[in-house]
Amino acid sequence: MIRTITRDELIRLMKSSEHFKLVDVLSGESYVREHIKGAISIPLDKIEEKAPLLLDRDEKIVTYCASFECQASTKAAEKLVSLGYSNVFDYKGGLKDYKEAGLLLEDGMTCVSGCCGCGAA
């Protein structure tokens, strides 16, 4: 069973000094349009390929996708756990829940070079 994290828990985590990786699992194009501040892009279909390059197995990882209805973040979290990542959480509300709370998103080419194939340098 994948552990979940609420929007309020995510906000508290973001404000804390605890190290974690926030992973947007939507397409690279979606990430460039908008993403939660501080997130990195690892699209669901690239998890197996990119996770070993961008994530440490023991660090806290929070995945998110578009909304409660979207299942990409849950699938990504399941894949990460199956790959041996031990501290994975799924933010099921995703972009929609985050935006509905009036929280700001980032846009533009701020992803890690080569992370998702979106063309960012």
Q: Which residues pair with 35 in a beta bridge?
A: 106
Q: Is residue 31 part of a domain?
A: yes
Copy the structure tokens of residue 90: 């799924």
Q: Is residue 79 part of a domain?
A: yes
pLDDT digits (tens, 9 = 90+) for 44-96: 999 999 999 999 999 999 999 999 999 999 999 999 999 999 999 999 999 99
Residue 120 has pLDDT above 50, yes or no: no
Q: Is residue 112 part of a domain?
A: no
Q: Is residue 114 part of a domain?
A: no
Residue 102 has pLDDT above 80, yes or no: yes
Residue 96 is part of a domain; what is its CATH number?
A: 3.40.250.10
Query: Could you tell me the residue range of the domain that residue 66 belongs to?
Result: 3-104
- The region that residue 107 occupies, defined by phi over 0 for left and psi between -120 and 50 for alpha, beta otherwise, is beta
**pTM summary value:** 0.89
Q: pLDDT at position 35, please?
A: 95
- The count of structural domains within the chain is 1
Q: Is residue 46 part of a domain?
A: yes
Number of neighbours of residue 43 by Cβ within 10 angstroms: 24
